[in-house]
Chains A and B, each alone.
Chain A
Amino acid sequence: MQTNTPPQPVHRGPFYRWVALVLRFRFLSILGIALISALAIYNIATKMRLDNSLETFTTEGSNAKKVLDEFRSEFGRDSVFLVLVEGDVFSEAFLLKLKSMHEALSEMQVELLETENLESDVQDTNAGFDELDDDNGWGDEGGGTIVDEIISLVNFRQTLSSEEGISVGELMDPWPTTQELPKFRQRALADKQIVNKFVDIDGRHTAIMVRTQVLKGKDKILAYDAVRSITKSYQGDDFRIGLGGLSALNTSLNRVMLEDMRTLIILSWFCMAAIMAFLFRHILGIVGPVSIVLLSALWTAGAMAALGLPMTMMSNMLPAFLISVGVGDSVHLQSLYRDLRRDGFKNHQAILQAAALTGKPIFFTTLTTMVGLLSFRFASVVPIQEMGLAGAIGVFAAFVLTLTLLPIFLSLNKSLFGMKTTTKNDFIQKLVVGANVLSAGTKTRRNTVLIVTLLLCGISIFGANRIRVWHNPMSWLPPGNELKETFEKIDKHLTGTSNIQILIESSSPEGMKDIEIIKGLEKLEEHAYAYVDAGTERRIVKDVTSLLTILRETNRALHAGDEAFFSIPQTQRGISDTLFLFENAGPDQLYRMVTNDFQKSQMTLRLEWLEATSYVPFSLYIEDGIKKFLPPQASVKLTGGAYLLINAVSNLIFDLLKSFGAALAFITVIMILLMGNLKLGLISMVPNLLPILFIVGLMGLTNIPIDMANILLASIAIGLAVDDTIHFLYHYKINFRASGDVNDAILQSLNQSGRAIIATSLILTAGFAVYLASSMYHLQRFGALIALTIFFAVSIDLVVGPALLRTFYKDRAKELPEVRSKAA
């Protein structure tokens, strides 16, 4: 019977007290939120960095990373721009244009903003004259290009031999006349050092290699823009230019990523706003949740910047993820608030009561989602670890904001918001009724549900066994992407775009001149060239550069350019002399191959770009060759882009099991604690695990592989799937304790939580479906798979969950009436 006195709050607790405090100090709370947001913006503006370099996929502290660092500190980075030009390479017009572009690139100037002191581990930081305290280094002198080295047909080093002696010059100096062009073409295409590296055998593709000084942060982007702007001005139908190379790859990926993130944030935001409008049909019902998710995304980005976590191809999914996940908290609180208002609660009391009742499940769902994300700390790949940490921070931020900002927004409600009952017959309600019908009723129907579930489990296990690891970040880029196409063309027509680098260390200084080591390297090189990839049935080693390259070229020059001497000198003194001659001519090139003391050297194998696991047998083959051919005085380590990927993917399945296992263990414990009952806690894990099993099974059956992006799927999905289970079983526990009637408790729980469960699941499904609008394939696929998992999770929660409860729980005597009224 309705009285004139408004209902009073019956639940109090920590969340009640917190919200009461927030509402009392409303302006102070807003000021606090504003300050944190300002700090986040400051951190983003000053410290946020993007990092899409391949080495981000290495494990910090791993052997592969250490070797990479050692390699770079000795021989510098392998990051170059490769400007690919397509056209009639040996026509006069093309060559003149090439020359002009080559010159423009070699003069490229960039005002550096961040690069100062990048050559680390230097012997002495007191550069310049010791006593010159006020030396301002380069100062404000104009000029000075950031280009360290540029190589193309125009200036390719040519060591020629004639009766007069050896001359070191450039391929096109003197510039060939029109009549000389056919002969020049013949000469260039006959040179093993040039063909298929700087020009293809058909004379249709050529490349300019630009190596800049080592750059930092924004300077990399400036360099990319400078190269792009120069090359763009030469673009034409007869001179088609594509920008490739690792330097271009990283910057270009950063660009695509930022554009993508912007699209996803805007779409998620509108999607959320639309769903909120549908659910709450009031401006306040939209503004609160939408502000919360945006602020939580902002705080997360701020925390990432402050903690030095870069944005990577992994973390670019975070903002949209946080928008869809974070909104769930608001929906639960706001739904209950609306119901309480409808039941006659005054605004202030409705807010407090809603916070008191939803605080605990929201806290636990936050906790489980955080656990899912934090389980990535067990992964061995750094960007995945970092994404997990940042995501967990974001989810927590959404929780804090839901219990701070949302009550403040709701406290502004002076209208009838929440008093309408129009939503009671919408399609969400119809879905709840449908779930009731499926899960309720006869034993036969229950058994059918369980048998179908078991059957699906069997199929999924079969599918899960077929799942494979396959990782190719290039395949994430959309078809027609310029970078992707350029990489493919470079791979097809010129040198390889991936690499394995071999670091060789002799037992003593000058040891790299040892003829035994040199001959061993020669055999290893031959061994590498002979490898045929089983998948493509092609030889994947496109080029090998090492000391051998230098020895052969110089030895040929010393023997009047005779191609028969394009080989390694056969005596120890011959090797020393040849290296001496080269050192005299081009020490920069030499020191990219060998250290100053000739103790360490490197061999770079340029490989066709393949998906990561295809390189695994190749690296084993190379390791075998190293054992076979190199003498004991040489110790060898492997690194390079392809090798790093191999390392990352070989840990992938193990990473997945580790992170998922950790998430599973933590969540099981949380569920048992929350349910206060081992049996119910364990039953609750079935609807949590089944969606994961189904999705993994589906991936296996539909040939969707596990890669660096969707490895996140299982742990994130379990963190989300568990939310529905918590809400449903939490209500079931209270109802069953009160009524002792399984059927009644289930039906009541569906009525109480079903609507919010379906609403949040719809929000999450829509939120992740937004990823389909991404231009990056891995995000599209990730979004679709998560959306599907959530669909599985909600179906299982509302249909299989009740069927399980009916199987494992039996009716018992009703508890005292006051307990029941408390549960209600």
Chain B
Amino acid sequence: MKKIHRFTMALALPVLILSTTIKAGATSAPLDALGIMKAVDNRKTEHSNRADLNMTIIDKKGRERTRTLLSQSIKFAEGTKMLMMFSAPADVRNTGLLSVDYDSSDKDDDQWLYLPSLGKSTRIASSNKSGAFMGSDFSYADMTQNDIADYDYQILEENIKVDGEDCWLIESRPKKEKLIKETGYIKTHSWISKNKFMPLQVKAWVKKGRKLKYLKFSDIKKHDDIWIAHKLTAKTVRGKSVLSTTVLLFDNLVINAQDVSDADFTQRRLEKGI
């Protein structure tokens, strides 16, 4: 069975890794929930990409902290490699992260962190996938893939609009308790565009602390026939209070760039910095 991203492939960085394309005839026949999710999953994706990423984390008091980084990813036979290097602020400049995400769930993902003060990269292994990525509202689990067969899907609304676009509203529930523990989510609701076959927004129920996570995909543009959101907003909410917000902006996005190759995803490249 094919794998699908948590948040029904909607989360931040994976959008860069696996951006969506419209499949001809996908909307011609009535689809059930699983069918829609398979259609979303079953698409052409770019081989590689590169972008300047601007990540702003806003706390409950509205204080902002912005980090900019260079991000690039490439697909390989067993999965996806990703390299991120911070350019600002000055105290984290050249700090970098290299990750290798294997499609097979049998194999643990690899992650190396480069801290300039140590002068060498260090491999990091963490069993806690529900932890936040870089202190943001996105978790590591959001960035890794999951098997489509592990979830039950249900169409909640056949016709619902988001930003004027026709969408399906689909609920995904993990079939096994283990998956809830691993990802932290009890269930998710995804608003899938009928036109773009990509999610426009996602709401996720976080088990720990009864929080909700809301994601919004905006500034969606087409690159080589692939729709890509250039702005992602994630809000962590409890009750009616926003606890924290992360805004990701993608600039200078290039897909399938000739100069992005396997050689760019090594520890040596990581240690070289920007």
Which A residues are within 8 Å of any B CB, using their own CB?
A: 73-74, 115-125, 127-129, 131, 135, 137-138, 141, 143-148, 164-170, 173, 213, 509-510, 513, 558, 569, 571-574, 576-578, 580-581, 583-588, 590-591, 595-599
Cβ–Cβ < 8 Å partners of A137 in chain B: 212, 237, 239-240
Cβ–Cβ < 8 Å partners of B240 in chain A: 116-117, 125, 127, 137
* Segment from B9-17, B88-96, B142-150 that makes contact with A: B88-96
Instruction: Place the interface of chain B in its size category.
Output: 35 or more
Cross-chain contact A169 with B126 (CB below 8 angstroms) = yes
Cross-chain contact A165 with B116 (CB below 8 angstroms) = no
Q: 4 closest Cβ contacts across the A-B interface?
A: A165-B123, A596-B59, A123-B62, A577-B115
Cβ–Cβ < 8 Å partners of B65 in chain A: 509, 596-598
* Segment from B35-43, B44-52, B74-82, B199-207 that makes contact with A: B199-207
Closest to A125 in B: B240
Instruction: Point out the residue from A141, A168, A571, A599 that lies within 8 Å of B128, measured CB to CB.
Output: A168
* Segment from B19-27, B130-138, B220-228, B252-260 that makes contact with A: B130-138
Which B residues are within 8 Å of any A CB, using their own CB?
A: 57-65, 89, 91-92, 95, 97, 112-113, 115-118, 122-128, 131-135, 162-163, 180, 186-187, 201, 203, 205-210, 212, 214, 216, 235, 237-245
Cβ–Cβ < 8 Å partners of B235 in chain A: 127-128
* C-alpha spacing A135/B169, complex, angstroms: 13
Cross-chain contact B241 with A122 (CB below 8 angstroms) = yes
Cβ–Cβ < 8 Å partners of B92 in chain A: 576-577, 580
Instruction: Point out the residue from A124, A141, A595 that lies within 8 Å of B242, measured CB to CB.
Output: A124
* C-alpha spacing A558/B116, complex, angstroms: 12
Cβ–Cβ < 8 Å partners of A144 in chain B: 186, 205-207, 209-210
Given contacts A115-B239, A148-B208, A598-B65, 18 further A-B contacts (CB under 8 A): A119-B243, A122-B242, A125-B241, A129-B216, A131-B163, A135-B203, A143-B207, A164-B125, A167-B125, A168-B124, A513-B91, A558-B122, A569-B117, A576-B91, A577-B92, A577-B95, A587-B135, A596-B65
Cross-chain contact A165 with B135 (CB below 8 angstroms) = no
Cross-chain contact A127 with B125 (CB below 8 angstroms) = no
Cross-chain contact A127 with B113 (CB below 8 angstroms) = no
Cross-chain contact A587 with B132 (CB below 8 angstroms) = yes
Cβ–Cβ < 8 Å partners of B210 in chain A: 138, 144-146, 213
Closest to B59 in A: A596
Cβ–Cβ < 8 Å partners of A588 in chain B: 132
Closest to B205 in A: A141
Closest to A116 in B: B239
Cross-chain contact B241 with A117 (CB below 8 angstroms) = yes
Cross-chain contact B128 with A577 (CB below 8 angstroms) = no
Instruction: Point out the residue from B115, B180, B206, B245 that lies within 8 Å of A558, measured CB to CB.
Output: B115
Cβ–Cβ < 8 Å partners of A131 in chain B: 162-163
**Shortest beta-carbon distance from B32 to chain A in Å:** 23
A–B pairs, 9, beta carbons within 8 Å:
A127-B240, A128-B214, A143-B186, A145-B207, A146-B209, A572-B91, A577-B115, A596-B59, A597-B65
**Shortest beta-carbon distance from B143 to chain A in Å:** 13
**Shortest beta-carbon distance from B30 to chain A in Å:** 26
**Shortest beta-carbon distance from B200 to chain A in Å:** 10
* C-alpha spacing A121/B207, complex, angstroms: 24
Give the most central of A137, A148, A578: most B CB within 10 Å. Answer: A137
* C-alpha spacing A143/B239, complex, angstroms: 15
Cross-chain contact A574 with B117 (CB below 8 angstroms) = yes
Closest to B207 in A: A144
Cβ–Cβ < 8 Å partners of A164 in chain B: 123, 125
* C-alpha spacing A164/B111, complex, angstroms: 11
Cβ–Cβ < 8 Å partners of B113 in chain A: 581, 584
Cβ–Cβ < 8 Å partners of A576 in chain B: 91-92, 117
Closest to A74 in B: B61
* C-alpha spacing A581/B111, complex, angstroms: 12
**Shortest beta-carbon distance from A96 to chain B in Å:** 19
Cross-chain contact A577 with B117 (CB below 8 angstroms) = yes
**Shortest beta-carbon distance from A361 to chain B in Å:** 56
Cross-chain contact A127 with B242 (CB below 8 angstroms) = yes
* C-alpha spacing A563/B63, complex, angstroms: 36
Cross-chain contact A122 with B89 (CB below 8 angstroms) = no
Closest to A163 in B: B123
* C-alpha spacing A580/B116, complex, angstroms: 11
Cβ–Cβ < 8 Å partners of A586 in chain B: 131
Cβ–Cβ < 8 Å partners of A127 in chain B: 212, 214, 235, 237, 239-242
Cross-chain contact A166 with B122 (CB below 8 angstroms) = yes
Cross-chain contact B127 with A123 (CB below 8 angstroms) = no
Instruction: Point out the residue from A74, A117, A147, A597 that lies within 8 Å of B239, measured CB to CB.
Output: A117
Closest to B137 in A: A587
Closest to A141 in B: B205
Instruction: Point out the residue from A129, A173, A573, A587 that lies within 8 Å of B201, measured CB to CB.
Output: A129
Cross-chain contact B122 with A596 (CB below 8 angstroms) = no
Cross-chain contact B117 with A573 (CB below 8 angstroms) = yes
Cβ–Cβ < 8 Å partners of A595 in chain B: 59, 61, 63
Cβ–Cβ < 8 Å partners of A123 in chain B: 58-62, 242, 245
Cross-chain contact A128 with B212 (CB below 8 angstroms) = yes
Closest to A150 in B: B208
Cβ–Cβ < 8 Å partners of A510 in chain B: 89, 91
Cβ–Cβ < 8 Å partners of A574 in chain B: 117
* C-alpha spacing A586/B130, complex, angstroms: 10
Cross-chain contact B203 with A584 (CB below 8 angstroms) = no
**Shortest beta-carbon distance from A82 to chain B in Å:** 19
Cβ–Cβ < 8 Å partners of B64 in chain A: 597
* C-alpha spacing A510/B88, complex, angstroms: 13
**Shortest beta-carbon distance from A550 to chain B in Å:** 13
Cβ–Cβ < 8 Å partners of B131 in chain A: 585-587
Report if A165-B125 is in contact (Cβ < 8 Å); known contacts: A576-B91, A577-B95. yes
Give the most central of A74, A164, A213, A577: most B CB within 10 Å. Answer: A577
Report if A585-B126 is in contact (Cβ < 8 Å); known contacts: A143-B186, A573-B116, A596-B57. yes
Cross-chain contact B59 with A169 (CB below 8 angstroms) = no
* C-alpha spacing A580/B97, complex, angstroms: 11
